[in-house]
Structure 1
Amino acid sequence: METAMNGYAENTATFRCETKLLPGTPVMVTDSGTVSAAGGTFCGVALSWRDGFAAVQLAGYVSLPYSGTKPAVGYQVLTADADGKVKAAASGSAGLQRLVVDADSTNIGFIL
């Protein structure tokens, strides 16, 4: 039987965002009520962008491409790379632990 995590505890908020973001871009808060593409620790994932505002998923399940070595399932410290992909951080790196629930050769699914 297949399993699905889509829709689990999703939580979305709208932030100002000057630079157009593609859906699936990890973001970080850069100023009061403002986000931009993350290059390190991220708070959520852009779902859409329009007219200087981004809808950002802050909780729930997401599936994103990763770079580097395939992250293991279980709790992992994940950060965003310069290309908008996520990666497992080196031991002791700053970042938030996320629950990785599935992984294949290109994407990992995790709980924000």
Structure 2
Amino acid sequence: MDISLNGYGEQVATFAVSGEVKVGMPVKISANGTVAPCVAKDKFCGVVLSLRGGYAAVQMAGYAKLPYTGTKPTVGYQTVNADGTGKVQVEATGRLLLITDVDEPSGTCGLVLA
């Protein structure tokens, strides 16, 4: 049996969308009740799960799998932020999050949003 963290502590909220937001992208709060794409080094509030009619379902907590760029994350607590292209990156500034798994061939990492 494989280990799975999907669904762990998941919390989802609905926001209006500003800009070119895509499913799977880390986003930031840009105005009251509105999310937008992150630029490089932004702290992100969550990950877009779905889009419909100018609104996004944004996962704010729980396990998420995201593409990364730059330095390969390692499991454990890492400081990460958005890279501005829909991926996350390990940086000196950002959010301290628990990295639970890293899939180097696919360029993704699993993390727990807090």
What's the TM-score, normalizing by structure 1?
0.92
Structure 2: runs of 5+ lacking an equivalent: none
Deviation at 1:27, TM superposition (A): 0.5
| SS in structure 1 at match of 2:65 | strand
Alignment of 1:26-105 (within 5 A): 26-39=26-39, 40-90=42-92, 93=93, 95-105=94-104
Instruction: Work out the CA distance in 1 between the residues paired with 2:43 and 2:109.
Output: 17
Instruction: Work out the CA distance in 1 between the residues paired with 2:18 and 2:75.
Output: 35
Partner amino acid, structure 1, of 2:103: D
Deviation at 1:21, TM superposition (A): 2.2
Checking the alignment, whether the CA contact within 8 Å between 1:20 and 1:49 is kept in structure 2 is no
Checking the alignment, whether the CA contact within 8 Å between 2:20 and 2:37 is kept in structure 1 is no
Deviation at 1:19, TM superposition (A): 2.9
Residues 16-45 of structure 1: per-residue CA shift (max 9 Å, x gap): 113342211000001111110112110100
Percent identity of the aligned residues? 48
Structure 1: runs of 5+ lacking an equivalent: none
In the comparison of the two structures, how many residue pairs are matched?
A: 109
Instruction: Work out the CA distance in 2 between the residues paired with 1:12 and 1:57.
Output: 4
The equivalent of 2:111 in structure 1 is 110
Residues 52-79 of structure 1: per-residue CA shift (max 9 Å, x gap): 1111000000001100011111111110
Deviation at 1:82, TM superposition (A): 1.6
* Alpha-carbon distance change, 56 to 35 in structure 1, aligned in 2, over 3 angstroms: same
